Each structure stands twice: as C-alpha cells, then as structure tokens.
Amino acid sequence: MIALYVALLVGAILFGIGLYGALSQTNLVMIMMGVEVMLGGALVNLVAFWRFLSPENYSGQTFFLIVMTVMALDMAVGFGVGTARFRAKGSVESEEAGELKG
C-alpha cells in the first residue's frame, strides 16, 4: 500500500499544476483543463484520506468513480459550449467571451 504522504504529495502537485494552468491561460479550453486537473488532485487526496482512515471500506473509490463520471460530463458540456463559441465568433479566448448571455 502506498504511504499517505506520497498520495497527498501527488494530489498537491496535481492541484498546483491545475491552479497554474487555470490562472495563467486565456483560452477557455485550457482553463477548463486546469480546473479538471485541480479537481483530479483534490479527488486523489480525498481517496487517500478515505483509504487511510477506513481501509476496509471501498465507498471512497466508488465516490471517486461517480465524481470522475460527472467531471467527464462537465467537460463534454464545456467543450460543446467552446465549440459553439468558436463556430460563432472564431475564437475561444476568455477576454472575448464577456458578451455571452445566459
């Protein structure tokens, strides 16, 4: 079994990479990818703590799979919006998306 600090370190590194990616980019697709990496890092930490506190219970892994499925659906919707934005305006830069209306 992997030590807790190794899993927490991997989760923290993923979260940091995602935070840098989300804050340093202006492209909406890259921002969404950064947010997804951040969520992945947080989920790694969640499952690591769950496994550390209750190793005989597999509900943490089940929760992880459900959240990853929801994250995939979220990305599909986000890429759909980005594709529609690109077809309409020719760009997916966040500065140019200020006129979007819900």
| HEC sequence for the chain | CCCHHHHHHHHHHHHHHHHHHHHHCCEHHHHHHHHHHHHHHHHHHHHHHHHHHCCCCCHHHHHHHHHHHHHHHHHHHHHHHHHHHHHHHCCCEHHHHCCCCC
Residue pLDDT tens, the chain, 102 long? 678 999 999 999 999 999 999 999 888 888 889 999 999 999 999 888 888 888 888 887 788 889 889 889 988 988 888 888 888 888 777 776 666 665
Task: Please report the pLDDT score of residue 94 as a whole number.
Answer: 73
Domain ranges for the chain: 4-89
For the 4-89 domain, the top CATH level (class) is: mainly alpha
Residues 6+ apart with CB under 8 A from 67: 39, 43
Q: Which residues pair with 27 in a beta bridge?
A: 93
